[in-house]
Structure 1
Amino acid sequence: MNTSYYISLITAIFIGGAAGYVGSLMATKKMSLVGDVLSHIALPGIGLGLLYGVNISLGALASLVLGIMLIWILSLKTELSMESLVGVVFVLSLAIGFLITPEEELLHALFGNISAVAMPDAVAAVFISVIVFVSARIIYSKMMLAYVSEDLALASGVKINKYNLIYLFLIAAVVAFGIKVGGTLLTSAMIIVPAAAARNVSRNMRQYSWLSVVIGIASVIAGFAVFPFLAARFGLSAVAIGPVIILASIVFFAVSLLFKNK
Structure 2
Amino acid sequence: MPDLSPLYNLLAQLLPFDCLQARFMQQALAGLLLLAPMTAAMGILVVNFRMSFFADAISHSAFAGVALGLLLALDPDWTMPAFGLLVGLGIMLMQRSSNLSSDTVIGVFFSAMVAFGLAIVSRDRSLARDLQRFLYGDILTISDGQIIALMGLFLTLMTFQALSYNRLLYIGLNPTLARAHRVRVAALQYLFAGLLALIVMFAVQAVGVLLVTALLIVPAASARNFARSAGAMFWWTLLISLSSAVAGLVLSAQDWARTATGATVILVACGWFALSMLAVAHRREQPL
Query: TM-score normalized by structure 2?
Result: 0.83
Give, in angstroms, the shift of residue 107 of structure 1.
1.6
- Is residue 2:201 matched to residue 1:181? no
Between the aligned partners of 1:50 and 1:84, the Cα distance in structure 2 is: 30
Provide structure 2 residue ranges, at least 5 long, that are not aligned to the other structure: 1-20, 122-126
Between the aligned partners of 1:125 and 1:51, the Cα distance in structure 2 is: 25
- Is residue 2:220 matched to residue 1:200? no
Is the 8 Å Cα contact of residues 53 and 106 (structure 2) preserved in structure 1?
A: no
Is the 8 Å Cα contact of residues 74 and 85 (structure 1) preserved in structure 2?
A: yes
Match of 1:55 among 51, 70, 75: 75
Q: Deviations over 1:94-141 (max 9, x none)?
A: 111123341112221211111111111122123212322321232210
Is the 8 Å Cα contact of residues 57 and 179 (structure 1) preserved in structure 2?
A: no
Between the aligned partners of 1:205 and 1:234, the Cα distance in structure 2 is: 36
Is the 8 Å Cα contact of residues 135 and 209 (structure 2) preserved in structure 1?
A: yes
Q: Deviations over 1:166-200 (max 9, x none)?
A: 11111111112222101222122111111111111
Is the 8 Å Cα contact of residues 58 and 176 (structure 1) preserved in structure 2?
A: no
Provide structure 1 residue ranges, at least 5 long, that are not aligned to the other structure: none
The SS at the match of 1:7 is helix
Q: Which residue of 2 aligns with 1:223?
A: 248
The SS at the match of 1:147 is helix
CA distance change for structure 1 residues 123 and 2 in 2, over 3 Å: closer, same or farther?
A: same
Pairing 1:83-102 to 2, within 5 Å after superposition: 83-101=103-121, 102=127
Q: Deviations over 1:32-82 (max 9, x none)?
A: 222122211222112222344433332122212221233234334420012
Pairing 1:70-89 to 2, within 5 Å after superposition: 70-89=90-109
Is the 8 Å Cα contact of residues 23 and 195 (structure 1) preserved in structure 2?
A: yes
CA distance change for structure 1 residues 224 and 259 in 2, over 3 Å: closer, same or farther?
A: same
Between the aligned partners of 1:247 and 1:222, the Cα distance in structure 2 is: 10
CA distance change for structure 1 residues 151 and 206 in 2, over 3 Å: closer, same or farther?
A: same
Give, in angstroms, the shift of residue 151 of structure 1.
4.0
Q: Which residue of 2 aligns with 1:4?
A: 24
The SS at the match of 1:180 is helix
- Is residue 2:253 matched to residue 1:233? no
More RCO (CA 8 Å, sep 6+): 1
Q: Which residue of 1 aligns with 2:194?
A: 169
Between the aligned partners of 1:134 and 1:46, the Cα distance in structure 2 is: 29
Q: Which residue of 1 aligns with 2:265?
A: 245
Q: Deviations over 1:7-28 (max 9, x none)?
A: 1111111101111111101111
User: Based on CA coordinates, which of the two structures has the bigger radius of gyration?
Assistant: 2
Q: Which amino acid aligns with 1:12?
A: L
Between the aligned partners of 1:196 and 1:224, the Cα distance in structure 2 is: 21
Is the 8 Å Cα contact of residues 58 and 201 (structure 2) preserved in structure 1?
A: no
Q: Which has the higher helix share?
A: 1
Query: TM-score normalized by structure 1?
Result: 0.90
Q: Which amino acid aligns with 1:2?
A: A
Is the 8 Å Cα contact of residues 22 and 133 (structure 1) preserved in structure 2?
A: no
Amino-acid identity (%): 25
Give, in angstroms, the shift of residue 227 of structure 1.
0.6
Is the 8 Å Cα contact of residues 132 and 174 (structure 1) preserved in structure 2?
A: no
Between the aligned partners of 1:50 and 1:219, the Cα distance in structure 2 is: 32
- Is residue 2:152 matched to residue 1:127? yes
The SS at the match of 2:271 is helix
Is the 8 Å Cα contact of residues 21 and 210 (structure 1) preserved in structure 2?
A: no
Is the 8 Å Cα contact of residues 89 and 193 (structure 2) preserved in structure 1?
A: no
The total of aligned residue pairs comes to 257
